[in-house]
C-alpha cells in the first residue's frame, strides 16, 4: 500500500492540464506496480472527485470527517455506509 499526501499534489480548480496529466501518470505508475493507493489529507469535494476520477479507491481527510475516537467512529461508520 502506498499513501499520497494530498497537500503534496496541489489541487484546486486552477491547476493546469499538465498538473492533472502528471498526477494521472503518478497514479498510473503506482497502479501498474500493483500498489493499493490511499490519498490522505483530502479537504475538498474537488480533491476527492479528482482522485476518484483517476481511480484511487481510498481517501481520508477532513472532507470526509474529522479524526474520531474509536467509540464515535463506530457510530459514524454505521450511519454513513
pLDDT of residue 22: 84
Strand order in the sheet with 37-40: 2-5, 37-40, 58-60
Instruction: Report the run of H or E that residue 7 belongs to, with start and end.
Output: none
Find the helix packing angle between 17-32 and 45-53, rounded to 10°: 50
Indicate the pTM of the whole model. Answer: 0.76
For the segment 63-76, what is each residue's pLDDT rounded down to a tens digit?
988 888 988 988 88
Read off the pLDDT of each residue in 22-32 and give the average, rounded to a whole number.
Answer: 90
Amino acid at each position: 500500500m502506498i499513501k499520497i499526501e494530498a497537500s503534496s499534489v496541489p489541487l484546486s480548480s486552477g491547476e493546469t492540464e499538465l498538473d492533472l496529466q502528471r498526477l494521472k501518470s503518478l497514479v498510473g505508475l503506482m497502479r501498474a506496480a500493483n500498489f493499493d493507493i490511499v490519498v490522505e489529507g483530502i479537504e475538498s469535494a474537488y480533491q476527492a472527485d479528482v482522485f476518484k476520477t483517476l481511480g484511487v479507491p481510498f481517501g481520508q481527510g477532513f472532507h470526509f470527517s474529522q479524526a474520531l475516537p474509536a467509540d464515535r467512529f463506530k457510530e459514524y461508520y454505521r450511519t454513513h455506509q
